[in-house]
């Protein structure tokens, strides 16, 4: 297989435009907290180098602001991108990519198909506590569903991941973007359980603490975040609490109908999603089930 990038990217690198674009594309989708995201233009400036450094601080032993064609940083970056993309290459937002960069994107997809996230999952799990996006995910799931079942925890997390780059959420490139912008009230309203979990995760850093429920949630959500297990929701992008819906239905049956809350019905949303997934697979040259 051809090298993913021909030359080094970043501080002191050759910084060929196609190589830089691939790195920028991956840095925007590796779970890194980048407030405004990187502009994917193939030009390597201070922001791109800064993002490489930030990524290396979290995941690599050497922090030099550079990514080499066969280096450890590139390998880690590929693993993180595949994990962040739900272990599902179909969620790559092909439609939003300029035709200029499509050959690079196709090359990247080929590479990602060969990355084994399961092999990396056990090794990375210990480091996830230091990952700002993972902490945000755990705190938000705790805020949304602390007292629900473990399956409910996973479902909420999968809904977050499944939205990345899809349908009306196309412009959001990471789980962090989704949590902050697409209606997760536990985070936006900072409810009690969310604040409890956020504080707990900050105080304990990379170490395990004494809150058994949060510790169990970290354990349950780690493979979800890394994309190393099958999606229990089958690709869901919405969730609602049946108990809350039932209670609201009693107060105002017209405003809160019993059961589904989706405009056009769940069937319409599902059909639209399946159609888009088929289109994306065709454009990526991927077959169903190729990812994961």
Partner 1 sequence: MLLGDLPATPTVQPLGPLLLEIKASCGSPCSASAFYERRTRKMSELFADVILVAADIGQVVYAKDGKLVYSPMFGAARATPLQTKKPLAETASVVSAVVSAAFVKPSSIKLTYLSGPEFQEVSETIALSASN
Q: Is residue 172 within 8 Å of residue 163, measured between CB atoms?
A: yes
Q: How far is the CB of 264 from partner 1 (least distance, A)?
A: 6
Residue 66's DSSP bridge partners are 10
Q: Which is nearer to partner 1, 220 or 273 (CB)?
A: 273
253 binding partner 1? (CB under 8 A): no
C-alpha distance from residue 22 to each of 13, 125, 171, 253 (Å)? 14, 26, 18, 50
Q: In whole angstroms, what is the distance from residue 87 CA to residue 161 CA?
A: 10
Please select the residue that binds partner 1; options are 3, 230, 262, 279, rule is CB under 8 A.
262
- 47-54 long-range contacts, CB within 8 A, separation 24+: 48/9, 48/10, 48/20, 48/23, 48/24, 49/10, 49/11, 51/24, 51/27, 52/9, 52/10, 52/11, 52/23, 52/27
Q: Which is nearer to partner 1, 210 or 243 (CB)?
A: 243
277 binding partner 1? (CB under 8 A): no
Instruction: Give the range of 47-55, 102-110, 112-120, 264-272 binding partner 1 by CB under 8 A.
Output: 264-272
Q: By C-alpha distance, which of 288, 292, 276, 290 is closest to 94? A: 276
244 binding partner 1? (CB under 8 A): yes
Interface of this chain with partner 1, residues 158 to 217, rule: CB under 8 A: 159, 167-170, 182-186, 189-193
The contact mask relative to partner 1 for 106-145 (x = CB under 8 A, - = no) is --------------------------------------x-
- Please work out, in degrees rounded to the nearest 5, the angle formed at the alpha carbon of residue 147 by the alpha carbons of 146 and 150: 75
The contact mask relative to partner 1 for 3-42 (x = CB under 8 A, - = no) is ----------------------------------------
Q: Which residues bind partner 1 (CB under 8 A)?
A: 95, 144, 156, 159, 167-170, 182-186, 189-193, 237-241, 243-245, 247-248, 250-252, 254-256, 261-264, 268-269, 272
């Amino acid at each position: 297989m051809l090298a993913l990038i021909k030359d080094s990217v970043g501080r002191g690198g050759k910084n060929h435009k196609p190589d830089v674009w691939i790195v920028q594309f991956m840095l925007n989708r590796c779970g890194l907290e980048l407030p405004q995201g990187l502009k994917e233009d193939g030009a390597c400036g201070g922001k791109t180098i800064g993002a490489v450094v930030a990524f290396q601080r979290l995941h690599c032993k050497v922090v030099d602001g550079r990514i080499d064609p066969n280096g450890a940083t590139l390998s880690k970056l590929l693993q993180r991108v595949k994990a962040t993309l739900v272990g599902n290459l179909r969620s790559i937002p092909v439609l939003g990519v300029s035709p200029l960069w499509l050959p690079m994107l196709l090359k990247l997809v080929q590479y990602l198909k060969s990355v084994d996230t399961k092999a990396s999952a056990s090794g990375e799990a210990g480091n996830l506590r230091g990952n700002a996006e993972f902490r945000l995910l755990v705190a938000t799931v705790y805020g949304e569903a602390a007292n629900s079942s473990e399956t409910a925890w996973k479902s909420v997390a999968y809904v977050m991941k499944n939205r990345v780059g899809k349908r009306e959420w196309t412009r959001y490139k990471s789980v962090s973007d989704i949590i902050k912008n697409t209606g997760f009230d536990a985070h936006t309203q900072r409810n009690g359980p969310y604040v409890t979990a956020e504080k707990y995760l900050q105080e304990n850093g990379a170490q395990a603490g004494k809150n058994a429920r949060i510790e169990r949630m970290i354990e349950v959500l780690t493979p979800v975040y890394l994309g190393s297990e099958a999606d229990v929701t089958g690709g869901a992008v919405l969730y609602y609490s049946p108990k809350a819906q039932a209670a609201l239905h009693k107060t105002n049956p017209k405003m809160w109908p019993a059961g589904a809350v989706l405009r056009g019905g769940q069937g319409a949303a599902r059909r639209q999603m399946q159609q888009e997934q088929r289109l994306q697979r065709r454009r990526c040259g991927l077959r169903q089930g190729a990812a994961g």
